Amino acid sequence: MADPPRSAVRRLTVPARARIAAAAVALLSVLWAAAPAAAGQDWTAEPATGGRPYVYLEGPPGTVMEDGVSVTNPGAEPLTVRLRAEGTAGPVFAENRVTVPARTRADVPFAVTVPASASPGDRSARVVVSSGGREAVVRVHVRVTGSELAALTVEDVRVDGSVIRYTLVNRGNTVVAPRLAVRADGLTGELLRRPARTLPVELGPGRSLELTEPWPDPPALDSVDVTLRVTAPGAVSAEATASTRYVPWAAATGTALALGAAAGGVALWRGRGRTHDRPDRPLAQAGAQP
């Protein structure tokens, strides 16, 4: 390709290059300033008044407690969000759909009603704020005040080979951390003793949980009573017992076969005895007269 004529080549003078550099710097400044604004389009939701990790409410049964959620819209356009509640102590909003103006923080109030029949204890809920395919969660903790009752029972105890199965039931109105003690006694005396230990579970009011306790070395032949004893801080201890028998299958099968053979021999001997004791009788001749 031929070089352009010298008259067509324009050389930038020093002032011209300075003007271009200044324009580039100005353009970068504009882009740099616009970047945070674009990032600011991500709205947020948090407990009202700010600075709280979650909403905490406390009151006796039959009360109505109020609080709120703050939604911040840093964008240049209005933002419409939807709110819904999840959990056992779900808040109630006056409006489930709210439009937040541009560059504004809106406080959305809600109310939590504690039923008059509610038992003391802790409840939890979540406020889910959604818009544009995004969701933000605000946690809500509600404590119903009053006399606390810790009550725990152990039920449905059964022994399945080398495993002890049982069910724990929280009969109180507070969360409990159960403690379990195990003992087993057979015809020959003590077989198993496990002192009380705290189980790695927490049980909420009214809830039940099925658990197992390993017994890797049960007796081969014995009649056993297994007793489980449970308790929790502030609760009265409770017990339940299950009985089982351990019989070796080989020995049981051999004994059953021996007993069956003996019974068969006795029956055969008796049958033969009855045959020999009968008096001989002549066979009746066909057509003979009596």
161-193 pLDDT, tens digit per residue, is: 999 999 999 998 888 999 999 999 999 899 999
Give the pLDDT confidence of 235-262 residue by residue, as tens digits. 999 999 999 999 986 555 544 454 555 5
Tell me if 24 sits within 8 A of 32, measured CB to CB.
no
d(CA 246, CA 164): 14
Q: Does the pLDDT at position 290 exceed 70? A: no
pLDDT value at residue 195: 97
Q: Does the pLDDT at position 158 exceed 70? A: yes
Average pLDDT, the chain: 80
Q: Does the pLDDT at position 34 exceed 90? A: no
Q: Is 123 left (phi over 0), alpha (psi -120 to 50) or beta?
A: beta
pLDDT value at residue 53: 94
Nearest to 232 by CA among 214, 205, 259, 271: 205
Q: Does the pLDDT at position 26 exceed 60? A: no
Q: Does the pLDDT at position 265 exceed 60? A: no
Q: Please report, for residues 76, 148, 166, the alpha-carbon distance to residue 172 in angstroms, rounded to integers and kept in the order given.
A: 53, 8, 19
Burial of 54 (0-12, 13-18, 19+ CB in 10 A): middle
% of the chain residues with pLDDT over 90 = 58
Residue range 203-217: mean pLDDT, rounded: 94
pLDDT value at residue 36: 45
pLDDT value at residue 46: 96
pLDDT value at residue 13: 52
Residues 6+ apart with CB under 8 A from 155: 166, 167, 168, 169, 240
Give 6's pLDDT tier (boundaries 50, 70, 90): very low
Bridge partners (DSSP) of residue 57 are: 142
Identify the structural domains of the chain with CATH numbers, from first to last: 44-144 (2.60.40.10), 152-246 (2.60.40.2360)
